[in-house]
Structure 1
Amino acid sequence: MEVAEVLPDFADAFAFESFNRMQREALPALLERSDNVVASAPTASGKTALAELAICNALADDGTALFLAPLRALTNEKEADWERFESLGYSVYVVTGERDLNPRRAERADILVMTPEKLDSATRKHDSPRYSFVTDIDVCVIDEVHLLDADRRGSVLEVTISRLRRLCDPRVVALSATMPNIDDVAAWLDAPPECTFEFGDEYRPVDLNAGVKTYTHGENTFADKYRRLYRALDLAEPHLREDGQALVFVASRQDTVQAAKKARDEIGERDIPMGARGDYDFHTETKRLENDTLRNSALDGVGFHHAGLSKNDKDLVEEWFKEGKIELLFSTSTLAWGVNLPARCVVIRDTKYHDPLEGEVDMSPLDVLQMLGRAGRPGYDDVGYGWVVCDTADADTYRRLLRDGKEIESRLADSLATHLNAEIAMGTITDLEDVMDWLETTFYYVRGQSRPDDYDFQNLRRRVRDCLEGLVEQGFVETGSDLSVEATPRGVLASTYYLRLETAVGFANLCDRSSGADSETGGAADGNATLEADDILETVASATEFDSVSARQSERDAINAVLVGRNTPDLDAGQRKVLAILCSAANGNTPPDLRSDAWVIRRNALRLLAALRAFLERFGTAHDANLARRLEARIENGVADDAVGLTAIDGVASGRASKLAKEGLATPGDVVEAGVGGLVRAGLGDSIAERVYEGAQTLPAVELEWGSFPDSVTTGESTVHEVIVRNVGEPSTAGIRVTVNGVEMTATTCYLRDRTTVPIGVFGANADELEYTVSVAFPDEPLVPCEETRVVDVV
């Protein structure tokens, strides 16, 4: 059955000319019916084509398709793969972070590509113009639906699909590797038997011979890695000697590089005939690589692959592995999920890995099965060989996994309160009955019916009621006399910013300190409350999102050096590590020993800082919200506090901000005053100078007019004077604070479009002089607050 016969208008969208047996059997359900479809099939059997068939079917009806990729690293790869659709006139758009989102492109896209986490965030904000596109989806393809069983990510996928179905009821096509309880997934998605396909091992293009090999665990984890590496090479060697290829999965990016280096030496000692150093053409071709270590390895037939490599290098490694020029490839698990890159022999060297946010964790059984599924090259091998190398104590666990597979479980119970709060915040749940109706749309409910004892199904209603009561006690939900439920502002912010509930409580407590409220009584505690940068950074470092971060022994000295002089008795070692990374990032000089985890921690911290800023703006003060915004910009750009305002200018990041600050232009106001000529003299090119100058003019800028403010006041006398706060730039929300001798007199927040008047009482008190300070801060911009002071003598 040729593609051109079935889909003449979309023949060029497929990478092959004819459908295989598995694809032919699923084709009528995808093209001739409108029901939801669930299909499980062995790795490398051609499931991607099922996704493309569903997408083509939607596009033929002028619909919009959504493809859910299991990992962020794979979304861009899909965009590249589907340039075939672009050539047919259909637009493909990958929806990434909040700041990178182009709503217009998303609205006009024919094919959207997202991760479950991004879709969760977008559907929570579906009623905003920025994310309204998520309600116009006609078909949703879930790639690797067995991700439902992943620890934290599984519940996200589960509730998001349930929510999407309530919002716009798209057709759902769920694809998966082999899973024993496919009927539960089909029941959850209402896929009829005619549209539920369980393709067994007979559909694998190459038979799989999988097993477990053990090693003796020692005291030194570093030495253990090499014990497992030698074991992996023992398993790969017979295939390498027969011109086969081996794919070895390791725990981290760094491990791929180190293992490849050590393997090259070992291959030389074992005299395994590999490499292409005598091949002049390939020698020349390897010069295209940007990574020198990779170039040297490739010449010996050994490569490594991870998400941190440039796209150029990843593409070349994949190309050369497919061509057989690289015979032994070390990779992280990302390769197993994304790229169709099979090998005759697959070895999983590491069954545990270090997660920056979770510490040492076991490799997911789903990952293990996915990696082993890469064994066997269709068209080249009759059988593929897959091995798990593990400690003797874990051997039986992996043998059972290989023998019985892995039933897909729901993980919703672990985070029920978080997701329930999100639904209440969206307004989809208004009472207890709504909660039960919502729960019945989840995989958790379906799985509970299948396994009532394991899921404690009899007590489900009580557990939901307990969960609701907990949300009320923590201040996320309010209940009415008619048993209605409604989200509080705290609950809405926790949902909007995708926070764990414990983190939202910590943020609210900090807001109490910011506003001067007593968290115990709710009354005023300190009329002069204000936060320091350390307060904000330590609150973020203490967020439960970072609970599992651990500090390795090798990192302790670097952490102590960054935090020298700081008193952090309330922080544990992992939290101090997060704090050290944030402090060093703000200064633009993260120590080498902390860099391996810094990127992940920094990205999560930026999201948390944006959320904390929203909390402070709503429950604290505008000045403290502005402080959080400045810290966010500093951590993102690595600039000093006095120059951070420059990053508010479009096109000015860390390098340009530092350059301008060195020339004495530390604020957007300095930039406007300098003009294009001054910027050129500061070292910017003509066109860049014009752009920066124009960008600086789009920001708010404050001028204070003190009028007839007195120089002195008689003891016992009091008068009221007015200070005009004028915004000569773009309108923006502003916080205006007046202090006298450091004590807050008044504070107000307003939308400062043109000007506002601030009344200030001048009174002859028991002091020799009174120092009045007017401070204006913009919570949404990383601008240093504008402050001016006047001194009044008391005579």
Structure 2
Amino acid sequence: MEVAEVLPEFADAFAFEEFNRMQREALPALLEREENVVASAPTASGKTALAELAICKSLADGGTALFIAPMRALTNEKEDDWDRFEELGYSVYVVTGERDLNPRRARRADILVMTPEKLDSATRKHDSRRYDFVTDIDVCVIDEVHLLDADRRGSVLEVTISRLRRLCEPRIVALSATMPNVEDVAAWLDASAETTFEFDEEYRPVDLNAGVKTYTHGENAFADKYRRLYRALDLAEPHLREDGQALVFVSSRQDTVRAAEKARDEIAERDVPMGARGDYDFHTDAQELENDTLRNSVLDGVAFHHAGLSKNDRDLVEEWFKEGIVELLFSTSTLAWGVNLPARCVIIRDTKLHDPLEGEVDMSPLDVLQMLGRAGRPGYDDVGYGWVVCDATEADKYRQLLKDGKEIESRLAESLETHLNAEIAMGTITDLEDVMDWLETTFYYVRGQSRPEEYDFPNLRQRVRDCLERLVERGFVETGEDLSIEATPRGVLASKYYLRLETAARFASLTERESIETADVLETVAGAVEFDSVSARQSERDAINAVLVGQKTDDLEAGQRKVLAILRGAASGSTPSELRSDAWVIRRNATRLLSALQAFLERFSGPHEANLARRVEARIENGVADDAVGLTAIDGVGPGRASKLAKEGHSTPGDIVEAGIDGLVSAGLSEGVAERVYEGAQSLPAVELEWGRFPDEIATGENDACEVTVRNVGEPAQAGIRVTVNGVEMTKTSTYLRGEETVPVGVFGANADELEFTVSVAFPELPLVPQRESRTVDVV
């Protein structure tokens, strides 16, 4: 069955010319019917084409398609793959972070690509102008729906699909690897028997011979990696000698490099005939690689692949592996979910991995099955070989997994409070009956009906009541006399900013303090429950202590002290080398949390406290000192340029405007850059204070009503104006500062000999240092 015959107008959207047997059997349900579809099929059997068929039908009907990719690394790959749709005149848009979102492009897109987490966040804000595009979806394709069973991420996917179906009732097409209980997923998504497909191993293009191999566990974890590596090479060697290829999965980016380097030496020692050192043309091609280690390695037929490589290097490695030039490839698990790179032999060297936020964790059973599914090259091999290398104590667990697969369970119960709070905050749940109605739309409810005892279903209503009571006790929800349920401001912010509830409560407690310093902000974030599983290795402790020397951190656990040290290091632009391996992930999560803390502080404390959080966030993002952080608000000024300008005495946008283009050129900027920086500084708010008639002295017991004019001569922005006398707050106000604002200041003859009045203006959404001016009045 040729693609051009079935879909002549979309023939160029497919990477092949003929549908295979599995695709042909599913095709009528996808193209000729309107119902929801669930299809499970072995890895590498061509499931992606089913997604594309569903998308083509939606586009032909003038609709908008949403594709849910299992992880962020794969959304960009889909954007690249679907250039084919762009060439046919359809627009593809990947929805990424909050600040990068282009709502106009999202609204106009024919195909949207999102992760479950991003869709969850977007659907929570669906009634805002920024995210209203999520209510205009005609078909939703869920790639790898078996991720319902993944820790934490599974419950996100589950509640988000249930919410999306309530918002706009899209057609759902759910695709998965082989799973034993596909009928439960079909029942959840209301897919009929005619549109539910369970393609077994018979549909696998190449037979899979999978097994478990053990190694002798030692005392040293580092040495154990090499024991497993030699075991993996023992398994790969026969295939490599027969011009086959081997794909070895390891736990981290760093491990891919180290394993490839060690494997090159070992293969040379074993005299395995591999590599292309005698191929002059390939020597030339290899010069295109940007990574020096990789450039040397590929000449011996060995390579590594991970998300930290440049796109150019990843693309070349994938191309050379497909061509057979690279014969032994070391990779992280991301490759198993995304790029279609089958090999005759697949080996999972590491079944445990270090997660910067979780510590050492077992690799997900879903990941294991996905990786092994890459074994066997269609059109080249009759059989693929897949091996799990593990300690003898875990061998039976993995043998059972390979024999029976993995039934998909719901993970909603593990985070029910968080998701229930989100629904209440959105206003979709207003009483106990609404909660029960909502639960009936979840996979948790369907699975609970299949296994009532395991899911404690007889006590479901009581469990929901207990959950609601906890939300009320912790200040996220309040109940009315008529037993109605409503979110508090705390509950709304926790949902809007995607916070764990314990963290939201921690943030709320900070807002109750009379004064808040930078140290308080950093410690509050470092102690967030999102970082609870971070562990400090023995080798990191000296570096942590060096960063935190002289600071009181008795209330923090070892892992939280590590987070605090990374944040302090990032804020000063000098993260110790011992902490850098986890620093990127921790910084990325911390900036998200700081953005949320800023909102809490603005809502419950005030604009000045929110501005402090914004400045801390900008310092961690850019690694600049507090006195120069305001420069990062200027478009085109990154950390290097901000530090350079600050050293030359230009540490605020006001200094930049005052210096002018000539002054910036004198500070070392080129004329073109100086012009852009100057214009960027002019586009920010700029404050002038006018004290008017303000006395120099006042008699004891007398009062004088004065005014201070706060004038914004730059761009309008939300601002907070605070007046203090001798450090004690007199008044504060929040306003959208456009033009000028008059602030009343009462001067009164108090018992003090001298009164110092300070007016401070802060912009909560910008990392500008608050502008302060003071006047002193003598009491006579």
Match of 1:338 in 2: 338
Deviation at 1:794, TM superposition (A): 2.1
Match of 1:526 in 2: none
Matched, 1:184 2:184: yes
Partners of 1:571 and 1:767 lie apart in 2 by 41
> Which region of structure 1 is more displaced relative to structure 2, 38-47 or 755-764?
755-764
Match of 1:206 in 2: 206
Partners of 1:512 and 1:88 lie apart in 2 by 57
Deviation at 1:189, TM superposition (A): 0.3
SS at match of 2:375: coil
Deviation at 1:710, TM superposition (A): 1.4
Match of 2:512 in 1: 512
Matched, 1:373 2:380: no
One-letter identity of the residue aligned with 2:215: Y
Which runs of 5 or more residues in structure 1 are unaligned?
514-528
Provide, for residues 361-396 of structure 1, a one-character-per-residue CA deviation record: whole Å limited to 9, x for no partner: 000000000000000111111110000001111111
Matched, 1:645 2:630: yes
Deviation at 1:184, TM superposition (A): 0.2
One-letter identity of the residue aligned with 2:208: L
Provide, for residues 625-671 of structure 1, a one-character-per-residue CA deviation record: whole Å limited to 9, x for no partner: 11001011111111111111111112222122122222221111112
One-letter identity of the residue aligned with 2:260: A
Matched, 1:693 2:678: yes
Q: 2:714 aligns with which of 715, 729, 732?
A: 729
SS at match of 2:711: strand
Match of 1:66 in 2: 66
Partners of 1:66 and 1:381 lie apart in 2 by 35
Match of 2:429 in 1: 429
Partners of 2:505 and 2:563 lie apart in 1 by 19
> Which region of structure 1 is more displaced relative to structure 2, 502-511 or 770-779?
770-779
Provide, for residues 33-63 of structure 1, a one-character-per-residue CA deviation record: whole Å limited to 9, x for no partner: 0100000000000000000101111111111
Match of 1:702 in 2: 687
Match of 1:622 in 2: 607
Partners of 1:735 and 1:569 lie apart in 2 by 34
Match of 2:101 in 1: 101
Deviation at 1:750, TM superposition (A): 2.1
Partners of 2:377 and 2:328 lie apart in 1 by 14
Partners of 1:651 and 1:103 lie apart in 2 by 23
Partners of 2:681 and 2:558 lie apart in 1 by 41
Deviation at 1:733, TM superposition (A): 1.9
Matches within 5 A, 1:112-151: 112-151=112-151
Which runs of 5 or more residues in structure 2 are unaligned?
none
Matches within 5 A, 1:276-675: 276-513=276-513, 529-675=514-660
Matches within 5 A, 1:158-307: 158-307=158-307
Matches within 5 A, 1:705-784: 705-784=690-769
> Which region of structure 1 is more displaced relative to structure 2, 729-738 or 545-554?
729-738
SS at match of 2:651: coil
SS at match of 1:491: helix
Deviation at 1:590, TM superposition (A): 1.3
Partners of 1:149 and 1:680 lie apart in 2 by 58
Deviation at 1:765, TM superposition (A): 2.4
SS at match of 1:512: coil
Deviation at 1:695, TM superposition (A): 2.1
Partners of 1:688 and 1:112 lie apart in 2 by 36
Partners of 1:648 and 1:425 lie apart in 2 by 32
Deviation at 1:135, TM superposition (A): 0.8
One-letter identity of the residue aligned with 1:440: E
Partners of 2:281 and 2:201 lie apart in 1 by 40
Match of 1:36 in 2: 36
One-letter identity of the residue aligned with 1:145: V
Partners of 1:789 and 1:615 lie apart in 2 by 29
Match of 2:52 in 1: 52
Deviation at 1:764, TM superposition (A): 2.4
Partners of 1:19 and 1:621 lie apart in 2 by 61
Deviation at 1:740, TM superposition (A): 1.7
SS at match of 2:694: coil
Partners of 2:467 and 2:79 lie apart in 1 by 40
Per the normalisation by structure 1, the TM-score is 0.97
Deviation at 1:218, TM superposition (A): 1.1
Provide, for residues 115-153 of structure 1, a one-character-per-residue CA deviation record: whole Å limited to 9, x for no partner: 000000000011111111111111111000000000100
The alignment covers a number of residue pairs equal to 780
One-letter identity of the residue aligned with 1:14: F
Deviation at 1:730, TM superposition (A): 1.9
Partners of 1:677 and 1:438 lie apart in 2 by 63
Deviation at 1:222, TM superposition (A): 0.4
SS at match of 1:354: strand
Partners of 1:371 and 1:724 lie apart in 2 by 66
Deviation at 1:160, TM superposition (A): 0.3
Partners of 1:105 and 1:670 lie apart in 2 by 37
Deviation at 1:266, TM superposition (A): 0.7
Partners of 1:615 and 1:20 lie apart in 2 by 54
One-letter identity of the residue aligned with 1:713: I
Deviation at 1:283, TM superposition (A): 1.0
Deviation at 1:713, TM superposition (A): 1.9
Provide, for residues 537-593 of structure 1, a one-character-per-residue CA deviation record: whole Å limited to 9, x for no partner: 000000011110111111111111111111100011110111111111111121111
Taking every aligned residue pair, what percent have the same amino acid on both sides?
84
Partners of 1:488 and 1:39 lie apart in 2 by 41
> Which region of structure 1 is more displaced relative to structure 2, 153-162 or 747-756?
747-756
One-letter identity of the residue aligned with 1:154: G
Partners of 2:60 and 2:198 lie apart in 1 by 27
Deviation at 1:683, TM superposition (A): 2.9
Deviation at 1:718, TM superposition (A): 2.6
One-letter identity of the residue aligned with 1:72: R
Partners of 2:367 and 2:34 lie apart in 1 by 32
Partners of 2:114 and 2:746 lie apart in 1 by 56
Partners of 2:21 and 2:623 lie apart in 1 by 55
Partners of 1:566 and 1:3 lie apart in 2 by 67
> Which region of structure 1 is more displaced relative to structure 2, 726-735 or 130-139?
726-735
One-letter identity of the residue aligned with 1:691: R
Partners of 1:593 and 1:455 lie apart in 2 by 44
SS at match of 1:669: helix
Deviation at 1:786, TM superposition (A): 0.5
Partners of 1:621 and 1:21 lie apart in 2 by 63
SS at match of 1:257: helix
CA RMSD of aligned residues (A): 1.0
Deviation at 1:690, TM superposition (A): 2.7
